[in-house]
A and B are shown apart, each in its own frame.
Chain A
Amino acid sequence: MVRVEHNFKAMGGPCSLRVDTDDKAAANMAVKAAVAEVARLERKYSRYLNGSLTNRINRAAGEGLPVPIDAETSALLSYADTAWRESEGLFDLTSGVLRFAWDFKSDRCPEQCEIDALLPLVGWDLVRREQDSVYLPMAGMELDFGGCVKEYAADSAAMQLRRYGVTSALIDLAGDMVAVGAPQGVATGTAGWPVGIRHPLQKDRAVAGVHMPEGGLASSGDYERCLLVDGKRYGHILHPHTGWPVRGLIAVSVLAEQCLVAGSSATIAMLKPVDEALKWLDGLGVPWLAVDANLNCHGSLALSQHAGKRE
């Protein structure tokens, strides 16, 4: 058995693939295919890349012409629609425009009127979606797949590995992970890939460890970017209905069969008030971990009640 390890940058962060195999050449082919798959999805859905489908859809907003889409995009939009419905409108691919009002590198909060000017552009229910086309009816509206494409890419990369016969691998796309089988060479019973869930405030510390079974693990956190104004913290997760940062949990991790489902579940929990979010996660019926603003840990993956002192 050998472990093939490949580190690369994609989707705005550090990524890694680990494959345990007896056939190194086959594993290398598989890794190549998986990396190519992630790159394909990044090219297709990044809103930053000029030629991307997302970019074409956004540029056509308000122009009167629906943009043709393929079956994959159609299915992804259907999924986003399900998540929007199941979250009572919290999971919304059109909410990205709100970031124009918020400059997390500055030290000022936007005025309400700045936010009010953007709110009409937010609303998944405004999007005109057909089986083979999509259209944003107002100039300035944007679709942002950022909330689901990294997770989907992790799942899709896993599928590529499986197609090439890989039975044991761990994919990590900047924190969104998918396990294929269990690592080789470990005693059976401790099955699963050992993975640490990052501490919300300390980059190099784990708040919990988990032996990942086959499936996905996704995390959403409000720790990376925030604004401090008059001693008050404003996180970067914005409520799609108000345009203001959510005062909820600061980190959520969810394990599910698909990384995509894990990711949107974590995102939805982040957008809910703390009490509601904890109840919602509990009812979901999958392993989860949540950290609140006082660094209290909740959920079946929590090792202890408290994540430790703030540093």
Chain B
Amino acid sequence: MASSPQEERNKTLAALTSSALLLPAYNVAVADAPPDFTEIGMRYSKYKEDDLSAKKVFGARSQRMDIDVAQFHLLAPVSDDWSVALDVGWEDMSGASPWFVGESLVDDGEPKVAMSGASIEDTRTEVSVTTRYYFDSGTAGVNYTYSDEDDYESSAVSLDGSLNSADGLTTYSASVSASDDDITPTQGKYPTNTLSATKDIRSAWIGVSRIISKRALVRFGLSYTYRDGYLTDPYKYKDNRPDERKEWTVSAGYRHFFVEQNGALHVDYRYFDDDWDIASQTLDVAWIQNVGQDITLAPFIRYYAQDKAKFFSVVVNDDIDSEYFSDDYRLSAFGAFSYGLRVNYDIGNWSINADAERYQTDESWGLYSGEESPALVDTWRYGIGLSYAFK
């Protein structure tokens, strides 16, 4: 049956409208698209732990770890809907780490840290390849990462996907990952807790983000991680941990752009809980200030509070009778503040970024009660990077 003139004309309007809607002025919800440029970047950063104060250590050795990190990044489009990224990183570690915490008989039973005797020297190389597929309403990616150092080898695969709602305002994301790690502790002056062991990590994450107004966005996430295998620190003198750990994390974030200030406020909160009884809370606040077209300044502050693991004690006594025990300060109750500044400067196709961050810990800053480990660490981290993008 032939269509009526009315229908013919309406087809004209439909044809004009659908053709017009391809113009950028009408694209509120822009489909995810792969980068249409190639980006190459290099970055150098330094992580440095403060020396422990002399009164917190046995003997004279109080120097801790220094890590130099160099990273290379390449991101390139393969076709209209594929991209590939290659990331290579090198780390050079040196210094000493806490071996155990003991009671000083000279100093009235005060807990003090015994540092690992010889200076640890290690290098780590990591290669990571990601390929990403872009379709009309989302993206899907696959990543493989291989990391190798003298005493540790890890390979991990992850899959992730995101889906945008029809109105373009809501994005749902999910990912799963798995890694197989081999641990072969370097043999030195002190015996290690194992000669060779393995561990597996499986994790899954789901998230949703929604644009709630022209200038604000909220997001929520939920993740689960299961670790199975040798989770004890091989180098610590008195350390024996369960060979299984289940971790949950819930997170929420808010982004708000302020037109008048030409800046954005980012607030993120994270709650973590696991079956070792370690609970933690993180609050992150950052202000992203645009200065003109090319400069971004982002001061940030982060607060972190952690409860201790159920088998942690500041000093593990020789007569301990529980199955699991550790004096690792990372399992203790403490609070931490980090604060810093990130700067980015775009000059044509080039982009320079630099950042500095100070991290400080103290038991008394925490939300959970517990004795302070003398091995708690304060750190500095700073870095500088350069990237170049071209078509």
Contacts and interface: CB of A to CB of B under 8 A. Distances in A.
Given A163-B214, A164-B259, A83 B23 contact: no
Contacts of A163: 214
Given A159-B26, A258-B26, A280-B9, A25 B19 contact: no
Given A155-B25, A156-B25, A265 B259 contact: no
B25 A261 contact: no
A308 B231 CA distance: 91
B19 A283 contact: no
B259 A78 contact: no
B38 to A, nearest CB: 17
Interface in B45-103: none
A297 to B, nearest CB: 20
Interface string A68-99: 00011001101101110110000000000000
B13 A152 contact: no
27 contacts: A25-B259, A29-B260, A30-B259, A71-B24, A72-B23, A79-B23, A82-B19, A85-B15, A86-B12, A155-B23, A162-B214, A164-B259, A165-B213, A165-B214, A165-B215, A165-B259, A257-B17, A258-B20, A260-B23, A261-B13, A261-B17, A261-B20, A265-B16, A282-B9, A283-B9, A285-B6, A286-B13
Contacts of A26: 259-260
Interface in A223-249: none
Contact of A283 (B10, B20, B215): B10
A279 B5 contact: yes
A264 interface: yes
A156 B5 CA distance: 32
Contacts of B213: 165
A256 B26 CA distance: 14
A31 B312 CA distance: 61
Contacts of A280: 9
Contacts of A25: 259-260
A126 interface: no
A284 B19 contact: no
Interface string B211-252: 001110000000000000000000000000000000000000
A56 B72 CA distance: 40
**By CB atoms of chain A within 10 A, which of B10, B12, B20, B259 has the most?**
B20
B338 to A, nearest CB: 33
B104 to A, nearest CB: 62
Interface in A29-83: 29-30, 71-72, 75-76, 78-79, 81-83
Nearest to A41: B25
Given A26-B260, A86-B15, A286-B13, A79 B5 contact: no
Interface of B: 5-6, 8-10, 12-13, 15-17, 19-26, 28, 213-215, 259-260
**By CB atoms of chain B within 10 A, which of A75, A156, A264, A265 has the most?**
A75
Nearest to A158: B25
A163 B96 CA distance: 53
A78 B215 contact: no
Contact of B16 (A162, A164, A261): A261
Contacts of B22: 75, 78-79
Contacts of B9: 280, 282-285
B23 A285 contact: no
Contact of A152 (B8, B15, B25, B28): B25
A261 B25 CA distance: 13
A76 B23 contact: yes
A165 B259 CA distance: 9
Contacts of A164: 214, 259
Nearest to B261: A25
A233 B24 CA distance: 40
A87 B119 CA distance: 81
Contact of A284 (B10, B23, B26): B10
B23 A152 contact: yes
Nearest to A151: B20
Given A79-B16, A261-B20, A284-B13, 18 more contacts: A26-B259, A29-B259, A83-B16, A152-B25, A163-B214, A165-B213, A165-B214, A165-B215, A256-B13, A258-B17, A258-B20, A260-B20, A261-B13, A261-B17, A264-B16, A282-B9, A285-B6, A285-B10
Contacts of A81: 19
A113 B21 CA distance: 41
A83 B17 CA distance: 10
Contacts of B215: 165
Contacts of A264: 16
Contacts of A285: 6, 9-10, 13
Nearest to B214: A165
B20 A79 contact: yes
A78 B18 CA distance: 11
A258 B21 CA distance: 9
Nearest to A167: B214
Contacts of B24: 71-72, 75, 156
Contacts of B23: 72, 75-76, 79, 152, 155, 260
